[in-house]
Amino acid sequence: MARPIIAIVGRPNVGKSTIFNRVIGDRMAIVEDKPGITRDRIYGTAEWNGTPFSIIDTGGIEIDEEDFILKSIRVQAELAIEESDVIIFMVDAKAGLTPADQEVAEILFRSRKPVVVAVNKVDNIQRQEDIYEFYSLGFGTPMGISGSHGLGIGDLLDTAVELLPEKEDDDYGEDVIRVALIGRPNVGKSSLVNAILGEERVIVSDVAGTTRDAIDTPFEKDGQKYVLIDTAGIRKRGKVYETTEKYSVMRSMKAIERADVVLVLINGEEGIIEQDKHIAGYAHEAGKASVFVINKWDAVEKDEKTMQNFTQKIRDHFLYMTYAPIVFLSALTKHRLQKLLPVVNHVSEQHALRIQTHVLNDVILDAVAINPPPSDKGKRLKISYATQVSVKPPTFIFFVNEPELMHFSYERYLENKIRAAFDFEGTPVRLLTRRKSESE
């Protein structure tokens, strides 16, 4: 199920990124900072008053056009309109109402999407009067906020979240594996969808997805039901959309949210580029089972070490996803295509795997006996016990004497021991540390 989306729109230097970072700040503090995960994001996830949502900072969308700021603002506003359920329209109290603000307002007004006007830089009571001229934008009562001081952000989120639509269920059922195909343009997503469905010849139906643009295709193979969530079918006219690299990341995020298994497609002819890392990083952080699919393998000149060398490149570039299996194939010739769905089935099972507490603790006890936690300033970490608290992805809580003594390297050691004992191929594993209470 996809989270609803809030977009922050406005001309440059009104403080969009400051608000964006404040909203996702708490989440970012608990996400693992593993090597190779890119941080220059424009798309984050957050929760407010029990409502989870995604948020877009359109200021991070770079437009490769020679035209000036107004054109860039216009394109960003259009992207936000398409992608979002609610729009936060940011303006600047100090600068007052500008022609660029009015330009954005006209675009947003035509969209008929819910819009909340946030007047930034209202840093004190005297500035409160500066919000009144923004009534003329026609979106109701403007809300005075201060991104730098954190004032009014809660009220702003209260209003924005209240305007979000009700959650939609996809009605596919728990026994269906939802598979998202993601990757930059021209890696062969459409070709792979056609190859999978052409070979199976058991398409149930073609229905529009619940996320407005992704195409959902249910099918069945060997008694297992699947839904392919395909962003490849989405096409936009004009150079702007083709040259806005991060735009395709935004599109991929919506497919990732709804998936159980994510196929990260990479063009075998071209090799790995930076955008591949962006897209794969989002799948990892969303906690989805993942498979690297190296497409167009038929077009690659090969010797006996080509596949081994490419595998090593994947591992070097995606250090945080060593758990993800790699499938080499050609959607065009269907060579090695038969290997894909068995891998999808396997990583889906691992993603939903639950380990009994006593079995888990036997493994942890052995791991600690072999390699005791190092001491820090005379203190040593003591692990009382561990338990699995959720699946998709498998998540474990370790109850310890002092959570701050759990060093990243020792946490990685424990994760490796868990993987060695229980596999978990294809899925991230989350390890959380909590202080053991006196009563436990």
Averaged pLDDT for residues 147-169: 87
Look at residue 74 in the predicted model and tell me its pLDDT. 66
pLDDT band at 316 (very low <50, low <70, confident <90, very high): very high
- Lowest-pLDDT range of 167-176, 210-219, 375-384: 210-219
Averaged pLDDT for residues 236-245: 43
Indicate if the pLDDT at residue 156 is higher than 80: yes
54 by DSSP, 3-state: which?
strand
Domain edge (last residue) among 351, 378, 405: 351
Whether residues 153 and 236 fall in one domain? no
Give the CATH number for residue 378.
3.30.300.20
Provide the percentage of residues in the chain whose pLDDT is more than 90. 44
β-strands 383-390, 395-400 pairing: antiparallel
State how many domains the chain has. 3
Q: Tell me: cis bond preceding 142? Omega within 30 of 0 counts.
A: no
Domain edge (last residue) among 328, 351, 374: 351
Whether residues 387 and 372 fall in one domain? yes
Whether residues 145 and 20 fall in one domain? yes
**What count of residues does the chain have?**
440
Contact 279, 313 (CB under 8 A): no
Look at residue 207 in the predicted model and tell me its pLDDT. 38
d(CA 126, CA 123): 8
Binding residues for GTP: 10-17, 57-61, 120-123, 183-190, 230-234, 295-298
- Judge whether 170 lies within some domain: no
Whether residues 258 and 370 fall in one domain? no
Indicate if the pLDDT at residue 200 is higher than 60: no
Whether residues 9 and 137 fall in one domain? yes
- Judge whether 169 lies within some domain: no
Q: Tens digit of pLDDT for each residue in 88-115?
A: 999 999 889 988 888 888 888 888 899 9
Indicate if the pLDDT at residue 428 is higher than 90: yes
Count of CB atoms situated within 10 Å of the CB of 298 = 17
- Judge whether 167 lies within some domain: no
Q: What are phi and psi of 136, to 5 degrees?
A: -65, -10
Q: Is 338 exposed, middle or buried (0-12, 13-18, 19+ CB in 10 A)?
A: exposed
Whether residues 280 and 382 fall in one domain? no
Higher-confidence residue of 350 and 255: namely: 350
pLDDT band at 1 (very low <50, low <70, confident <90, very high): low
Residue partners of 161: CB distance under 8 A and separation at least 6: 6, 48, 49, 51, 53
Contact 407, 436 (CB under 8 A): no
Whether residues 79 and 95 fall in one domain? yes
Indicate if the pLDDT at residue 326 is higher than 60: yes
Residue type, 66: E
Look at residue 377 in the predicted model and tell me its pLDDT. 79
pTM value? 0.73
pLDDT band at 358 (very low <50, low <70, confident <90, very high): very high
- Judge whether 168 lies within some domain: no
pLDDT band at 68 (very low <50, low <70, confident <90, very high): low
Indicate if the pLDDT at residue 42 is higher than 90: no
Contact 389, 313 (CB under 8 A): no
d(CA 169, CA 105): 32
Averaged pLDDT for residues 310-317: 94
Indicate if the pLDDT at residue 246 is higher than 60: no
Q: What are the C-alpha distances in Å from 134 to residues 156, 211, 336?
A: 16, 32, 60
Compute the mean pLDDT over every residue in the chain, rounded to the nearest whole number. Answer: 81
- Judge whether 440 lies within some domain: no
Whether residues 297 and 222 fall in one domain? yes
- Judge whether 39 lies within some domain: yes
Chain centre to alpha carbon of residue 40: 13
Look at residue 104 in the predicted model and tell me its pLDDT. 83
Look at residue 65 in the predicted model and tell me its pLDDT. 47
Whether residues 207 and 328 fall in one domain? yes
Whether residues 322 and 195 fall in one domain? yes
Residue partners of 282: CB distance under 8 A and separation at least 6: 43, 249, 252, 253, 256
Q: Helices 408-422 and 357-370 meet at what angle, rounded to 10?
A: 130
Residue partners of 201: CB distance under 8 A and separation at least 6: none
d(CA 76, CA 14): 14
Provide the percentage of residues in the chain whose pLDDT is more than 70. 80
Contact 56, 7 (CB under 8 A): yes
Averaged pLDDT for residues 75-100: 83
- Lowest-pLDDT range of 126-135, 255-264, 365-374: 126-135
Residue span of the structural domain in which 382 resides: 357-435
Residue type, 295: N
- Judge whether 63 lies within some domain: yes
pLDDT band at 177 (very low <50, low <70, confident <90, very high): very high
Higher-confidence residue of 242 and 46: namely: 46
Contact 289, 260 (CB under 8 A): yes
pLDDT band at 145 (very low <50, low <70, confident <90, very high): very high
Contact 311, 220 (CB under 8 A): no
Contacts 24+ apart (CB under 8 A), 315-320: 317/36, 317/272, 317/276, 317/277, 318/36, 318/277, 318/280, 318/292, 319/34, 319/35, 319/36, 320/32, 320/34, 320/35, 320/36, 320/37, 320/281, 320/284
Q: Is 432 exposed, middle or buried (0-12, 13-18, 19+ CB in 10 A)?
A: middle
Whether residues 33 and 132 fall in one domain? yes
Q: Which DSSP state fits 203?
A: B
Give the CATH number for residue 213.
3.40.50.300
d(CA 319, CA 36): 6
Whether residues 135 and 17 fall in one domain? yes
Domain edge (last residue) among 351, 382, 399: 351
What is the DSSP code string of 106-173?
HHHHHHT--EEEEEE---SGGGGGGGGGGGGGSSSS-EE-BTTTTBTHHHHHHHHHHTSPPP------
- Lowest-pLDDT range of 17-21, 29-33, 240-244: 29-33
Binding residues: 10-17, 57-61, 120-123, 183-190, 230-234, 295-298
Q: What are the C-alpha distances in Å from 300 to residues 195, 304, 307, 312, 333?
A: 19, 12, 10, 16, 13
Place of tokens 């089935």: 345
- Judge whether 331 lies within some domain: yes
